[in-house]
């Protein structure tokens, strides 16, 4: 087993980066991913050089189990963690999924420790919670020496009880103990004091790594994580683009770039390859269809844009006037033209490998055909175009519905008509519908062919790159009937086709969700 402890290097201390994009991040509305997509994100996290990838919650569904197993088998650098509640069935299931990672496998088990959760959710006395936590850690430790324990809702837990639980789970074999701000309630000063209290009052605290996991309900997740590091926390749990339950988790890019940019007063460092931050952010947006807001720190479209004359002038004199970090340091270069319609299979394959796609011959043939079709419609193909094409047409292999073609007629004085031909479970079907505009006509036709009664909640239209032949990108949200929204995305040089693809993508995700046998997450069952 590799050492869990951070090492003091000169005067700087290394912070372990635990990425939970594929678990806490994926748990948030609109961010669900299929197995291929999760493996693809995991490969990018490997390039980013995070220390730990939390790959999922294996007992949650067959899909989650399989994703964790595939990631555990294929990712070589980072440790792979799987989440499980504090009961034998969950722990055994997590271990089954994690086994292929060998000595890099980490079991992450949790139970809530706050009075509110113990009384209302678990309906367990504190003594029972303590005993359950110890038993869970012992069971996990019988499989691996790499065990993380989380005291859910730690920031609303009575401190003496929190210290008692932390001491007991370390004695039981936990090598990392996480102190989550589950509901995003704490503030930096308070969180600093909680970590400091544990450091000062838990006698065996030095035998484990103290981890922090912050939610962003009050917009303080990054600030709280940094305060905790200053108090002695050695691991930070975070997600790309800050996705996660409700308002999200601590954003990896903001945390890492804060530590890097303020070396003058923060004596810490991470191993993250910061040039991979922008590719990771874009890949996640491409896969989930959820774009970051333009003013998002580090990865937003405006993060390095200087609009006002005074700022532009200052930048021309010296970029340090208005730039505290360089765009290059987060992997943001001017978009380079990478390929065009004369590019051959070789150049295309090489570009795919550079972007992190490893395809077998059959998938490469398929991708190359799509690339040629795109290159016919668009003279210059950028990396972003390739990512969009791969996410939409190549990685989504098991789609129930596929668009063959769409023809739309519309104009100022006539209703729009859309004629759509598609594959539904491998059968060719076609229809034409009238609508109030071309998108309405297209969605009516698609809903008729797929027999869907879905309600379209909203639609966003943007462009992937610049120019009049740029690919348009459409994101739609449909209601799933269980109060959850499902997101779909589509791209094309034709915006109506992009909208049609986005709706079909959402219907495919809905079909996949309905197919997946979801094991109900009864969190009151921790002690079972």
Name the site residues for Zn ion (rule: CB under 5 A). Answer: 24
CB of 27 to Zn ion, least distance (A): 8
Site map 74..113 versus ligand KIV, x via CB under 6 A: ------------------------------------x---
With CB cut-offs between 5 and 8 Å by kind, which of ligand KIV, Zn ion, none does residue 150 bind? ligand KIV
377: left (phi over 0), alpha (psi -120 to 50) or beta: alpha
The answer to whether 153 touches 189, Cβ cutoff 8 Å, is no
Stretch that binds ligand KIV, among 36-44, 175-183, 270-278, 428-436 (CB under 6 A): 175-183
Stretch that binds ligand KIV, among 5-13, 176-184, 192-200, 513-521 (CB under 6 A): 176-184
Cα 487 to chain center, whole Å?
14
Six-digit token pair at 27?
Answer: 């748990």
> Edge-to-edge strands of the sheet including 12-14?
8-9, 12-14, 268-269
Residue nearer to ligand KIV on the CB measure, 228 or 506: 228
Q: How many helices (H) does the chain have, and how many strands (E)?
A: 16, 17
Residue selected from 40, 213, 282, 501 as contacting ligand KIV according to rule CB under 6 A:
213
Note the maximum CA span of the chain. Answer: 80
The yes or no reply on residue 185 touching ligand KIV (CB under 6 A) is no
Nearest to 276 by CA among 263, 290, 257: 257
The yes or no reply on residue 24 touching ligand KIV (CB under 6 A) is yes
CB of 404 to Zn ion, least distance (A): 42
The yes or no reply on residue 450 touching ligand KIV (CB under 6 A) is no
* Strands 12-14 and 8-9, bridge-based pairing: antiparallel
Q: Count CA atoms within 13 Å of residue 300 on its CB side.
A: 12
Contacts of 351 (CB under 8 A, 6+ apart): 338, 339, 383, 386
Nearest 5°: phi and psi at 227? -60, -40
Separation CA 317–CA 252 (nearest Å): 31
Residue nearer to Zn ion on the CB measure, 24 or 497: 24
With CB cut-offs between 5 and 8 Å by kind, which of Zn ion, ligand KIV, none does residue 152 bind? ligand KIV
Separation CA 409–CA 388 (nearest Å): 27
CB of 180 to Zn ion, least distance (A): 6
β-bridge mates for residue 15, sequence order: none
The yes or no reply on residue 46 touching ligand KIV (CB under 6 A) is no
Stretch that binds ligand KIV, among 174-182, 226-234, 356-364, 386-394 (CB under 6 A): 174-182
CB of 183 to Zn ion, least distance (A): 9
Residue nearer to Zn ion on the CB measure, 24 or 526: 24
Residue selected from 46, 51, 64, 152 as contacting ligand KIV according to rule CB under 6 A:
152
Contacts to ligand KIV by CB under 6 A: 24, 110, 150, 152, 178, 180, 182, 213, 215
């Amino acid at each position: 087993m590799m050492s869990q402890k951070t090492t003091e290097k000169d005067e700087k201390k290394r912070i372990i980066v635990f990425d939970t994009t594929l678990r806490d991040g994926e748990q948030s509305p609109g961010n669900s991913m299929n197995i291929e997509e999760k493996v693809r994100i995991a490969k990018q996290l490997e390039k980013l050089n995070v220390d730990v990838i939390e790959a999922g919650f294996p007992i949650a569904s067959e899909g989650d189990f399989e994703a964790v197993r595939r990631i555990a088998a294929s990712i070589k650098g980072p440790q792979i963690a799987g989440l499980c509640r504090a009961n034998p069935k969950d722990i055994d299931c997590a271990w089954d999924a994690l086994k292929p990672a060998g000595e890099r496998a980490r079991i992450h088990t949790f139970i809530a420790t706050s009075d509110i959760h113990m009384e209302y959710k678990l309906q367990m006395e504190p003594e029972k919670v303590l005993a359950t936590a110890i038993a869970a850690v012992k069971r996990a430790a019988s499989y691996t020496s790499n065990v993380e324990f989380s005291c859910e809702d730690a920031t609303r837990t009575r401190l003496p009880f929190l210290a008692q639980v932390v001491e007991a789970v370390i004695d039981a074999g936990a090598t990392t103990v996480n102190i989550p701000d589950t509901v995003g309630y704490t503030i930096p000063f308070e969180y600093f004091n909680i970590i400091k209290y544990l450091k000062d009052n838990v006698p065996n605290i030095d035998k484990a790594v103290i981890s922090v996991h912050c939610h962003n309900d009050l917009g303080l997740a990054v600030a709280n994580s940094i305060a905790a590091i200053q108090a002695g926390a050695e691991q930070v749990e975070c997600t790309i683009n800050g996705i996660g339950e409700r308002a999200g988790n601590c954003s990896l890019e903001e945390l890492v770039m804060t530590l890097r940019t303020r070396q003058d007063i923060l004596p810490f460092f991470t191993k993250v390859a910061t040039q991979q931050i922008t590719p990771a952010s874009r890949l996640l947006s491409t896969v989930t269809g959820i774009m970051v807001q333009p003013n998002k720190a580090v990865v937003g479209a405006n993060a390095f844009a200087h609009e006002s004359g005074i700022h532009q002038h200052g930048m021309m004199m010296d970029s340090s006037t208005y730039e505290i970090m360089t765009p290059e340091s987060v992997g943001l270069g001017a978009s380079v033209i990478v390929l065009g319609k004369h590019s051959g299979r070789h150049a295309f394959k090489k570009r795919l490998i550079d972007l992190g796609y490893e395809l077998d011959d059959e998938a490469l043939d398929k991708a190359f055909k799509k690339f040629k079709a795109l290159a016919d419609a668009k003279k210059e193909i950028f990396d972003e175009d390739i990512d969009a094409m791969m996410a939409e047409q190549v990685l989504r292999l098991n789609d129930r519905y596929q668009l063959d073609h769409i023809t739309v007629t519309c104009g100022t004085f006539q209703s729009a008509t859309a004629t759509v031909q598609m594959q539904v479970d491998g059968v060719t079907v076609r229809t034409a519908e009238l609508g109030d505009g071309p998108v309405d006509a297209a969605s009516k036709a698609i809903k008729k062919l797929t027999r869907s009664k879905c309600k379209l909640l909203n639609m966003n239209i943007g462009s992937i790159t610049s120019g009049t032949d740029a690919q348009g990108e459409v994101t739609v949200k449909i209601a799933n009937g269980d109060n959850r929204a499902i997101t779909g995305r589509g791209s094309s040089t034709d915006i109506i086709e992009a909208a049609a693809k986005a709706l079909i993508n959402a219907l495919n995700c809905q079909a996949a969700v309905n197919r997946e046998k979801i094991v109900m997450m009864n969190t009151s069952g921790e002690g079972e």
